[in-house]
């Protein structure tokens, strides 16, 4: 365990709780009320799912952005619950797609109940998130949330269709992560800004902040899938390799490898096995593929920070800046 990294993370979490902790609680309350039901089985699943919901990054982004832009109001609490609910829906469906047994050390819905229940409960979360968004006065949020979730689904469908394609281009990789990860971060920030009555220019800057941050986060996740500690990530290492998902470190490795090595690496990528995973690791080190991907994540984090420059100085702006550091430090 890297203690200094842990301390930095704990320190950041403490600052977030001080800044928007009460608002996160209000948003959690709205989340729970929206999903309140008389059906015991649905209540059980909801309770179970809430145990692996994790870091609340998207609602935190929405609330910090709102605060940095002028102040948090009821619409923000509702929308923070909406983006978290959509994210949770995608997690529940991801576990079906991956046929995963655990997430954050908790049994997934498909392993605890069954695939049918996972599919339907994910749908249930999607429909409730839209229902909740429609409780706001104008259709603006519904429209934005609808557009974003279209892009999220399109990103995931593209990812599935590219699975097994070792020749995935970097351009296509960024198209995919822009959809599946960055889009929901981007809309969280733009909604935070919009409902604080920011200028058009500020809203656009914060949307770009969220998008860049989301990309940095995703690349760091892709690195953690290769290098992280299993216990920490709560999932097996090399899962992208086994699922033949080409991530940035693997794409960079193919780009940089000498022709003779490239041939061998392609062979390993084409036949995922524990043995081939072992064989791949030295190549990742030799060609410094992780460092190359980390450099790109770092550039996204820098770009994200630059977009915050348009906002007045504030405690929440400082936390948002620190989040960009946190996004990439995880992968060190």
Interface contacts to its own copies, rule CB under 8 A: 37, 39, 41-42, 45, 89, 93, 96-97, 114-117, 119-124, 126-128, 130-139, 142-143, 145-147, 149-150, 152-154, 156-158, 160-161
Q: Dihedral of the CA atoms 133, 134, 136, 142 (nearest 10)?
A: 60
Specify which residues 103 forms β-bridges with: 106
Residue with smaller CB distance to its own copies, 94 or 261: 94
Closer to its own copies by CB, 80 or 265: give it: 80
Read off φ and ψ for residue 106, nearest 5 degrees: -115, 140
Min. distance of Cβ 284 from its own copies in angstroms? 27
CB of 51 to its own copies, least distance (A): 19
Shortest distance (Å) from residue 112 CB to its own copies = 13
Give burial (CB, 10 Å; 0-12/13-18/19+) of 261: middle
Give dist(CA 60, CA 74) in Å, integer: 15
Q: CB of 181: closest distance to its own copies in angstroms?
A: 15
Q: How far is the CB of 272 from its own copies (least distance, A)?
A: 17
What distance in Å separates the CA atoms of residue 114 and residue 126, rounded to the nearest whole number?
19
Q: How far is the CB of 39 from its own copies (least distance, A)?
A: 6
Nearer Cβ to its own copies (51/143) = 143
Whether 210 contacts 191, CB under 8 Å: no
Report strand pairing: 102-103 vs 106-107.
antiparallel
- The minimum distance between CB 12 and its own copies, in angstroms, equals 32
Choose between 123 and 291: whose C-beta lies nearer to its own copies.
Answer: 123
Burial readout 84-117 (b: 16 or more C-beta within 10 A, e: otherwise): bbbbbbbbbbbbbeeebeebeebbbbbbbbeeeb
Chain Cα centroid distance, residue 248: 16
Nearer to its own copies, 125 or 253 (CB): 125
Task: State the helix-helix crossing angle for 140-162 and 183-194, rounded to 10 degrees.
Answer: 170
Residue (36 or 201) nearer to its own copies, CB:
36
Q: Are 144 and 62 in contact (CB under 8 A)?
A: no
Alpha-carbon distance 53 to 37, whole Å?
19
Shortest Å distance, C-beta 99 to its own copies: 9
In the complex with its own copies, the residue whose CB is nearer, 156 or 322, is: 156
Closest to its own copies by CB, 127 vs 255, is: 127
């Amino acid at each position: 365990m890297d203690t200094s990294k842990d301390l930095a993370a704990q320190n950041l979490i403490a600052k977030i709780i001080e800044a928007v902790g009460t608002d996160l609680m209000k948003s959690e309350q709205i989340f729970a009320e929206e999903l309140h039901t008389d059906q015991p089985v649905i209540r059980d699943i909801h309770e179970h799912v809430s145990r692996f919901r994790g870091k609340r990054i998207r609602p935190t982004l929405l609330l910090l952005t709102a605060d940095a832009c002028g102040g948090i109001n009821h619409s923000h609490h509702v929308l923070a619950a909406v983006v978290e609910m959509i994210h949770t829906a995608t997690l529940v469906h991801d576990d079906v797609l991956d046929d995963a047994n655990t997430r954050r050390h908790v049994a997934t819905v498909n392993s605890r109940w069954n695939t049918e229940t996972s599919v339907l409960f994910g749908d249930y979360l999607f429909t409730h998130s839209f229902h909740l968004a429609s409780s706001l006065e104008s259709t603006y949020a519904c429209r934005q949330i609808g557009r974003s979730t279209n892009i999220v689904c399109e990103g995931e469908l593209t990812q599935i269709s590219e699975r097994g394609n070792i020749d995935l281009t970097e351009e296509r990789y960024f198209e995919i992560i822009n959809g599946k990860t960055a889009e929901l971060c981007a809309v969280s920030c733009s909604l935070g800004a919009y409902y604080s009555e920011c200028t058009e220019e500020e809203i656009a800057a914060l949307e770009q902040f969220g998008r860049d941050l989301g990309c940095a986060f995703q690349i760091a996740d892709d690195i953690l899938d290769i290098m992280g500690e299993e216990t920490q990530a709560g999932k097996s290492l090399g899962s992208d390799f086994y699922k033949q998902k080409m991530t940035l470190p693997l794409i960079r490795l193919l780009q940089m490898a000498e022709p003779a090595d490239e041939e061998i690496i392609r062979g390993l990528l084409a036949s995922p096995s524990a043995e081939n995973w072992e064989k791949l690791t030295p190549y990742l080190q030799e060609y410094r593929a992780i460092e190359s991907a980390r450099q790109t994540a770092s550039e996204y984090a820098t770009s994200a920070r630059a977009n915050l420059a348009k906002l007045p100085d504030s405690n929440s702006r400082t936390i948002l800046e620190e989040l960009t550091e946190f996004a990439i430090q995880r992968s060190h």
